[in-house]
């Protein structure tokens, strides 16, 4: 039964395999690399490669685990532990978290510096896809 569930989970995840990293269309950027995206989301850098300030938007949805797994290859627990350690020092904070893709889309549409991730299926013309994670 558990094996079946795991298989199901694998199937669903593979079904949702593609995550799109999006930004405001006004933000004219060359397509950033996976490393550059990772640096922004994990607080290593606070700017885009073009030097503009970057505002990463995180999610609380299940897509979050998928996004970080695709981006870093690490489980979400490790990412959480990382942030917990940084927060413990009180010297930095993790990206802003929103409930779902629509909220992400809304913030990206409205904010020129924002960068977020959504399921590829929810991408529309109002945002600019920087990177597709499979």
Partner 1 sequence: MSTAKRRHLYRKLATAVFWAALLLGALTSAIFFMTEFKRYSEKTVVMLDQLLDTVESTAAIAAYTSNREIGEDVLKGLLRNDFVHQARLTNDRGLELIETRTTQVPRQAEMVRTLYSPFGEAEVIGHLLIVPETQYNLQEARHSALLSALNSSVLIGLTALIVLSLVRSSLSRPLIKVSDALHAITAGEQERLDLLSRHRDDELGQLVDDINNLLDTLQEKFTVEHSLREEIQSVEQQLSSLFETTSAGIFLLDATGNLLKTNPTLGRVLGLPGMTSEKLVGQNFPALAFAEPERLRELMRYAGERRLAVGIDLELKSSGDAPSGWVHCLVSGQTDATGAARFEGVVYDVTERKKMEEEIKTLNEELECKVRERTQQLLEAQDELIRKEKLAVLGQVAGSVGHELRNPLAVMNNAVYFLQTVMPDADEIIKEYLNIIKGEIEGSTRIVSDLLDSVRTKPPRTERVEVRELLEKTLDKCIVPPTIAVKWDIPETLPALKADPQQIHQVFRNLISNGIEAMPEGGVLEIQAAADEAEKMINLEIRDSGVGMTPEQLGKLFQPLFTTKARGIGLGLVVVKNLTQANGGTVKVESEPGQGTVFTVSLPMDAAAAEVT
Q: By C-alpha distance, which of 94, 84, 88, 87 is closest to 44?
A: 94
Q: Please count the other Cβ atoms lying within 10 Å of the Cβ belonging to residue 107.
A: 17
CB nearer to partner 1: give 39 or 119: 39
Residue whose CB is less far from partner 1, 83 or 106: 83
How close are the terminal C-alpha atoms of the chain, in Å? Answer: 28
Beta bridge partners of 55: 114
Cβ 80 to partner 1, closest distance in Å? 13
Taking the complex as a whole, the smallest distance from the CB of residue 35 to partner 1 amounts, in Å, to 7
Report how far residue 118's alpha carbon sits from residue 107's, in angstroms, rounded to the nearest whole number.
12
Closer of 19 and 105 to partner 1 (Cβ) = 19
Output the smallest distance, CB 86 to partner 1, in A.
7
DSSP SS3 for 98 = strand
Closest to partner 1 by CB, 43 or 49: 43
List the one residue out of 88, 104, 102, 103 whose CA is nearest residue 41: 104
Instruction: Give residues in contact with partner 1 (CB under 8 A).
Output: 35, 38, 42-44, 72-74, 78, 82, 85-86, 89, 91-92
Q: How far is the CB of 32 from partner 1 (least distance, A)?
A: 15
């Amino acid at each position: 039964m558990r094996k079946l569930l795991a298989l199901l989970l694998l199937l669903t995840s593979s079904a949702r395999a593609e995550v799109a990293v999006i930004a405001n269309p006004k933000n004219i950027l060359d397509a950033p690399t996976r490393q550059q995206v990772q640096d922004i989301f994990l607080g290593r850098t606070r700017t885009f490669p073009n030097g503009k300030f970057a505002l990463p938007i995180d999610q609380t949805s299940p897509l979050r685990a998928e996004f970080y797994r695709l981006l870093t290859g690490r489980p979400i627990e490790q990412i959480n532990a990382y942030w917990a350690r940084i927060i413990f020092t009180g010297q930095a904070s993790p990206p802003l978290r929103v409930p779902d893709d629509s909220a992400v889309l809304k913030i990206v549409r409205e904010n020129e510096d924002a960068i977020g991730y959504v399921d590829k299926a929810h991408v529309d013309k109002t945002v600019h896809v920087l990177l597709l994670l499979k």
